[in-house]
């Protein structure tokens, strides 16, 4: 992906040097943000759609509505939460609506400005700079814009409301893709390399048998995975591209990460040095920290669920066990029968105690240990023995571990979740401040400006050389191919209502 390292600045109101604005930014912890755009706009208010004078400020992180002479911040919305832009067709002072999602909350901001084209261009440039996908936009008749606004009574609703506006009306199903190779299998799903016929783009397509999901009473978990994926926009989390279903299967289409699983490369190398381990761990900290900020606990962190892209950066995938359990600013916990992979399950899960986001930091500790040593800290071929060791065995370190690595692991692999590093309200920030990560420039890392210590060998866009040949050599079954005019039609199935997703298709027309 092209990395834009600079943005054409249009600070028409000179807010970068405004003391009032700097104070306002400092008050929300954003003093270091760079101003890319500032200009006067008219805020179209919901009641009678009257206009109110405001200032629009765009930085490298967020979009601000400023009011009054003191430029007080009325609203701050992250660029990563911007999902759709609808622009009115008018040559003079164009109206436009920005649609945002924050966790399970959806809202919009309706403005009018003579600089709409410039505003959208700078938003896209700022998003590219942060390695975010540019938010799609669509044109509509200005007289119809009020129909697109989210009703105030429905602002705190499911985020699919912001995706009901079509750019091209494209619909996808299994016939839209050519299935090429099997990439991996799990307990209830298989993942295939596919090529989208209309664009020639490559994706990873996860297929899930409805029969298995229902038999295992995992329908709610599957619906949750699909919903969580839709709200994720982060450089180290995989991106949802499409979702659809047939009579017997569910399909989730994601980015194809041709670098393969971290597990594959760890097995090849046996172990990683500390610098390479630190690089992967730091990117995972950013990804998991973002999930926690949305109130989501991942619960399945392991090398098999970490993929590398073509540049060697990580992406966390497989959100089948992820769960929304808390408000971002609190430590809410749940009681649930334990889930996860034995070597990475936290003690509180094994004890069936109340559990929260600290379970992910235990798993991170197990992963860091494994990357440095080649095996997890409490490994045993017998899962029951792993559970006993996790609960009772003293944590031991090989002589090759540095003092800072030992200290970090002793804090992450703390059996008391209240004392565990990252277990407090500050979450990921506690881990980022540990001496093990002292050399990490977190801002540059988030922007992917730090080169990976290892770049996978990738010969072509559809290269599967970084995946296990046990899977890639398997023959594709006839049920996964669509030939001639044969076309898979979506089936009405209320157990998976609203599963369909396409970024350019009205979601409301696919609620089945």
Kindly tell me if the per-residue pLDDT of 500 is higher than 90.
no
Q: What are phi and psi of 371, to 5 degrees?
A: -65, -35
Residue 507's pLDDT is 35
**Could you tell me which of 379, 376, 345 has the C-alpha nearest to residue 360?**
345
Give yes or no for residue 424 having a pLDDT over 80.
Answer: yes
- Kindly report which listed range (242-251, 281-290, 484-493) carries the lowest average pLDDT score: 484-493
Question: So what's the pLDDT on residue 430?
Answer: 96
| Annotated domain spans of the chain | 10-163, 174-257+471-510, 262-446
**pLDDT higher than threshold 70 for residue 86:** yes
Sign of the CA dihedral with 448 first, then 450, 453, and 454 last? positive
User: Over 80: is that where the pLDDT of 47 sits?
Assistant: no
Mean pLDDT value of segment 36-62: 84
Q: What pLDDT is recorded for position 484?
A: 41
Say whether pLDDT at 168 is over 50. Answer: no
φ, ψ at 318 (rounded to 5°): 65, 90
Q: Which two tokens stand for residue 60?
A: 């490298």
Per-residue pLDDT averaged across 90-101, rounded?
79
Choice between 142 and 445, residue whose per-residue pLDDT is larger: 445
CATH, range 174-257+471-510 = 3.30.200.20
- The confidence score (pLDDT) of residue 141 equals 76
Which of the two residues, 3 and 199, has the higher pLDDT score? Answer: 199
Across the range 322-348, mean pLDDT stands at: 71
pLDDT at residue 398 is higher than 90: yes
- Averaged pLDDT for residues 146-162: 54
What lies within 8 Å, CB to CB, of 480 at 6+ separation is 174, 179, 192, 207
At 23 the pLDDT is: 81
In the CATH scheme, what architecture does the domain 10-163 have?
Roll (2.30)
Report, as an integer, the average pLDDT of 445-452.
91
Q: Using 50, 70 and 90 to split pLDDT, how confident is the model at 33?
A: confident
CB burial of 26-40 (b: ≥16 within 10 Å; e: otherwise) equals eeeebeebebbbbbe
Residue 242, helix vs strand vs coil: strand
* Max avg pLDDT among 63-77, 106-120, 185-199, 376-390: 376-390
Do 188 and 218 touch, CB atoms closer than 8 A?
Answer: yes
Cβ neighbour number for residue 453 with a 10 Å cutoff: 14
pLDDT of 103 > 80? The answer is no
Query: Which pLDDT belongs to residue 181?
Result: 94
Alpha-carbon torsion angle 47, 50, 53, 56, nearest 10 = 70
| 153: pLDDT strictly greater than 80 | no
* Closest C-alpha among 262, 284, 308, 425 to residue 363: 284
- Phi, psi dihedrals of residue 195, rounded to the nearest 5°: -120, 125
Question: What is the dotted CATH code of the domain comprising 262-446?
Answer: 1.10.510.10
Binding site, annotated residues for ATP: 210
Largest CA distance in the chain: 72
CA proximity to 161, closest of 146, 149, 143, 145: 149
Catalytic residue among 108, 255, 300, 318: 300
Q: What is the residue whose two structure tokens read 């009306």?
A: 169
CB count in 10 Å sphere of residue 399 = 4
pTM, two decimal places = 0.66
Mean pLDDT over each residue of the chain, to the nearest integer: 84
Q: What is the pLDDT of residue 114?
A: 86
Mind listing the pLDDT tens digit for each residue in 220-250?
A: 888 889 989 988 888 999 989 899 998 889 9
**C-alpha to C-alpha distance for 16 and 11, rounded to whole angstroms:** 7
Q: What is the pLDDT of residue 98?
A: 93
Which range scores top for mean pLDDT: 178-192, 197-211, 396-410, 466-480? Answer: 396-410
502 band by pLDDT with thresholds 50, 70 and 90:
confident
pLDDT computed for residue 37 by the predictor: 93
Is the model's pLDDT at 292 over the cut of 50? Answer: yes
CA distance readout (Å), 146 to 43, 59, 138, 313, 415: 13, 27, 15, 42, 54
* Separation of alpha carbons 509 and 164, rounded Å: 8
pLDDT band (50, 70, 90) for residue 491: low
Instruction: Give the β-pairing of 323-324 and 296-297.
Output: antiparallel
Q: What is the mean pLDDT of residues 255-283?
A: 96
pLDDT more than 70, % of the chain: 85
CA atoms of 351 and 265, how far apart (whole Å) = 33
- Residue 356: its pLDDT value, please? 87
Which of the pair, 162 or 77, is modelled with greater confidence? Answer: 77
Lowest mean pLDDT among 260-274, 364-378, 457-471: 457-471
Neighbours of 108 (CB within 10 A): 18
What's the pLDDT band for 353 if we cut at 50, 70, 90?
Answer: confident
The answer to whether 300 is a known catalytic residue is yes
């Amino acid at each position: 992906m092209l990395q834009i390292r600079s943005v054409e600045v249009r600070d028409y109101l000179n807010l970068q040097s405004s003391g009032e604005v700097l104070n306002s930014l400092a008050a929300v912890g954003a003093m270091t943000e760079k101003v890319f755009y500032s200009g006067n706009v008219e805020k179209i208010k919901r009641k009678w759609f009257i206009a109110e004078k405001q200032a629009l400020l765009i930085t490298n992180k967020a979009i601000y509505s400023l009011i009054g002479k003191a430029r007080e911040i009325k609203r701050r919305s992250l660029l990563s939460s911007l999902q759709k832009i609808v622009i009115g067709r008018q040559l003079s002072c164009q109206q436009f609506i920005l649609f945002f999602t924050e966790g399970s909350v959806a809202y919009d901001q309706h403005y009018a400005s003579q600089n709409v084209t410039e505003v959208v261009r700078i938003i896209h440039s700022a998003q590219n700079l942060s390695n975010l996908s540019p938010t799609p936009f669509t044109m509509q008749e200005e007289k119809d814009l009020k129909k697109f606004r989210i009703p105030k009574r429905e602002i705190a609703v499911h985020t699919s409301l912001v995706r009901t506006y079509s750019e091209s009306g494209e619909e996808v199903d299994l016939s839209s893709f050519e299935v090429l190779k099997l990439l991996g299998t799990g307990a209830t799903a298989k993942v295939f390399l596919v090529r989208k016929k209309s664009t020639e783009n490559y994706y990873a397509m996860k297929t899930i048998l409805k029969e298995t999901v229902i038999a295992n009473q995992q329908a709610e978990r599957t619906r949750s995975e699909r919903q969580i994926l839709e709200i994720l926009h982060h450089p180290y989390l995989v991106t949802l591209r499409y979702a659809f279903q047939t009579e017997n299967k569910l399909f989730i289409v994601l980015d194809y990460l041709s670098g393969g699983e971290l597990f594959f490369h760890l097995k090849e190398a046996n172990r990683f040095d500390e610098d390479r381990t630190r690089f992967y761990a730091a990117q995972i900290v950013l990804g998991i920290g973002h999930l926690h900020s949305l109130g989501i606990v991942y619960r399945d962190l392991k090398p098999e669920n970490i993929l590398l892209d073509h540049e060697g950066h990580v992406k966390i995938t497989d959100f089948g066990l992820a769960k929304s359990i808390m408000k971002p600013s609190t430590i809410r916990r749940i009681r649930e029968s334990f889930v996860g992979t034995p070597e990475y399950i936290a003690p509180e899960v094994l004890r069936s105690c109340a559990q929260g986001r600290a379970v992910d930091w235990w798993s991170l500790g197990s992963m860091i240990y494994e990357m440095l040593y080649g095996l997890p800290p409490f490994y045993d071929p017998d899962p029951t023995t792993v559970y006993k060791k996790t609960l009772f065995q003293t944590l031991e370190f090989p002589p090759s571990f540095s003092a800072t690595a030992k200290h970090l692991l002793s804090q992450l692999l703390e059996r008391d979740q209240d004392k565990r590093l990252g277990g407090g309200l500050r979450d990921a920030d506690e881990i980022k401040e540990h001496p093990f990560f002292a050399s990490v420039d977190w801002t540059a890392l988030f922007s992917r400006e730090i080169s990976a210590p290892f770049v996978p060998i990738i010969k072509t866009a559809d290269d599967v050389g970084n995946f296990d040949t046990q899977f890639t050599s398997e023959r594709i079954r006839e049920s996964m191919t669509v030939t001639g005019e044969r076309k898979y039609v979506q089936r009405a199935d209320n157990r998976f209502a609203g599963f369909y997703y396409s970024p350019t298709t009205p979601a409301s027309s696919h609620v089945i």
